[in-house]
Chain A
Amino acid sequence: MDRLAGFAVIIFDANCIIYHCFRVDLKVDATVVSVTSRFTPHTRQITEKLIANNQKVTTTQAAFDEVRDCVFNAVEERMSDREVEAQLGYAQGEKVPDQIKLKVTQSVEKHVRKLQTSTSWFYVDTGFVPDGMALRALKRFFDSQSTATLGKSKPPSQVDMELINCGSQRQLPLVTNDRGISNFAEQLIAARLAFRLHNLMDIDPR
């Protein structure tokens, strides 16, 4: 948490916000199964620490606008996991019904949207205007990277680059779970295209 200390506000990408909210209780016979993302416990530890330190979390409007499909991806990935299928009582080869996936997706999305209205520690940075020149420079930077350096990650999207630029303009750290961004932290900072970039899983919540 030291990496985030001293900053009144921390920028999260959409996935980090979703991980915080991804916890849905499903009743299976007489028991209740909590379906969470793999990153939810870790993310919650971080956000709880930030809240305790009176630090706030924000994201860009563009990232928040993507929440719906990001929730879909997170839920789809998790609900296709054999571990979750088994927890919900589905045998090998049996898929979780689409209606349950929809229920979980809508529940997580509702939680994310509720953060905006019912918490004091999260807000959407609606005033942020991305810098066109900086975005072009970011695009040139990522286009120049070989696919090998990106590993399994997709090339950063326009929304990702806006988040990096938001951190740079606001001089705030950006937390992302995307290695396609965080792996380039040093180079981006050296090129003055980013302020601070941290991978979610590299942050020790203690």
Chain B
Amino acid sequence: MDTEASLRQTKPLSALLAMLSPTESVYSYEPQIRTYAIALGERCTQFSETQFLTEPSVVSYQLVSPSDRQLNLYSGGSQDLVAYTVTGNAILVEAKELPKVVGYVSNVSENAFLVGARGQVGLASNWGGMCRILSWGDTTFKWIEPTTTILGSVTDKLAYLAQYENRLSEDTVISLKGLITNLRDELRDWPGSYNQLLVSGSLDYCRSVLAKLSIAGSPLRSEIIKSVRDYYALCLGIVQQYREEKSTLRRVDLQSIQDRFDRLQETCATHGVYPRLEELEIADIPRD
């Protein structure tokens, strides 16, 4: 944890942000109050996968040969990473017997963070419960002001932690609404089925809920935003799972999605934010 202080040095990150295309920038706005463990490899230039940890758990990463320039997940073996609980919902993931790595995780904007290792930096977005690397270039280190608490980092090992602040601002609602709209629009191009409509229709409902929240404040605003955000993450998981085999979505049992959507409707209706689908009238739907 001694390296944490050095990570707090302040330098602007505008140059790196400017490297991102507008499309990539869209993805860099996902509010989360989550803890992520990111494994960085000395020679890796991209992640093949990152893992979202919701509770203390053991994860495994393997550094492959330098020529592959990739970091892969694997199970078992001597290079297991062991996860320890650090605080509440924070997780420290420590590597065993891995090459020397120096890196950090920090905040570059409200919803995105920078990851880096040995002269390489990348912008990662916290995207619907999944961590996604948007850019990974051989640039110089970009030190930034960490507005988010860095819970810990382990030099010479393979572990980084970041806990996001709970900022449910107006920007949060707008950015979440944008993500939901994108996902709903993507689903509209999928082969038509009840399941496809269940996901796109419920996301459309979520979009209206957020629009209503923007219009009138609710004492339970944070709770509702969290419910919508969690529901969005669930839908995103489904979309990611079936993106390569879109037609198979029709045959999937989405009862768990339906149950979660029912609970979300209940929450919104109980607090008078937005009616249940059954009671919904055309006039209730906010127009863009």
Contact = CB atoms under 8 A, between A and B. Distances in A.
Interface of A: 26-29, 68-69, 71-73, 76, 88-89, 97-103, 105-107
B288 to A, nearest CB: 10
A69 B250 contact: yes
Please classify how large the interface on chain B is, using the bins under 10, 10 to 19, 20 to 34, 35 or more: 20 to 34
Given A69-B250, A72-B192, A73-B192, A101 B282 contact: no
B84 interface: no
B280 A100 contact: yes
Contacts of B250: 69
B24 interface: no
Given A102-B201, A106-B277, 16 more contacts: A27-B282, A27-B283, A28-B281, A29-B283, A72-B192, A72-B197, A73-B192, A89-B282, A98-B184, A98-B201, A99-B204, A99-B208, A100-B282, A102-B204, A102-B277, A105-B201
A101 B194 CA distance: 10
How would you classify the secondary structure of chain B's contact residues: helix, strand, loop or mixed? Answer: helix
Given A69-B250, A72-B192, A73-B192, A101 B280 contact: no
Find the residue from B193, B200, B208, B282 having the highest chain A CB count within 10 A.
Answer: B282
Contact of B280 (A73, A99, A105): A99
Nearest to B205: A99
Interface of B: 184, 188, 192-194, 197-198, 200-205, 208, 250, 277-278, 280-283, 285
B280 A103 contact: yes
Contact of A76 (B184, B197, B281): B197
A28 B59 CA distance: 53
A80 to B, nearest CB: 10
Contacts of A106: 277-278
A27 B283 CA distance: 8
A146 B228 CA distance: 51
Contacts of A68: 194
Contacts of A27: 281-283
A26 B280 CA distance: 8
Contacts of A89: 282
A26 B282 contact: yes
Contacts of B193: 69, 72
A27 to B, nearest CB: 4
A101 B283 contact: no
A102 B198 contact: yes
Contact of B202 (A26, A72, A99, A107): A99
Contact of B277 (A28, A88, A99): A99
Contacts of A101: 197, 201
